[in-house]
Amino acid sequence: WEHVAMTTSTPPERAAEVPADLLAAATEAHTRAYCPYSHYRVGVALRTAGGAVVTGCNVENAAFPLGSCAEAGAIAAMVSAGELEIAEAVVVTDGDLPGTPCGGCRQRLREFAGPEVMVHSVSATTGAVVSLSVAELLPASFGPERLPG
């Protein structure tokens, strides 16, 4: 797997190593994606603070707004399993360049992950990797700590 820089703020030499177990789990989830419309598969594996690994894949729907992102599915599985904190994430996508989480999923990840948590995006096609922290994916983010109570 070769690390590539998608932005000037994250050079390849700074990219973190992708954990093999999360990569394998995300790759497996990637193969199970249901995407008959976009044909763009996404698989995600999250490691929780408790050490569990949960996965998700994108699921499209003919009524396009009803589809769900892989990250949303993995987070739902994590919460359903009783975990509330993400320690690390791997996202596997189609395409020559790794696809980073969409804006909505960046906010979803931020809800359960601190700014220092690493998100590794990997191309299933080329093996290229981009590793960014949640803070880099979503600078000046709005998190649960900003809400009263």
Instruction: Label residues 55-70 b or e (16+ Cβ within 10 Å = b).
Output: bbbbbbeeeeeebebb
Instruction: Label residues 15-45 b or e (16+ Cβ within 10 Å = b).
Output: beebbeebbebbbebbeebeeeeeeebbbbb
User: What are φ and ψ of residue 138, in 5° steps?
Assistant: -140, 75
User: What are φ and ψ of residue 131, in 5° steps?
Assistant: -115, 120
71 as an active site residue: the answer is: yes
The β-bridge relationship of strands 42-48 and 53-57 is antiparallel
What lies within 8 Å, CB to CB, of 11 at 6+ separation is 5
Catalytic residue selected from 2, 13, 28, 71: 71
CB neighbourhood size of 147 (10 A): 7
Catalytic positions, written as ranges: 71
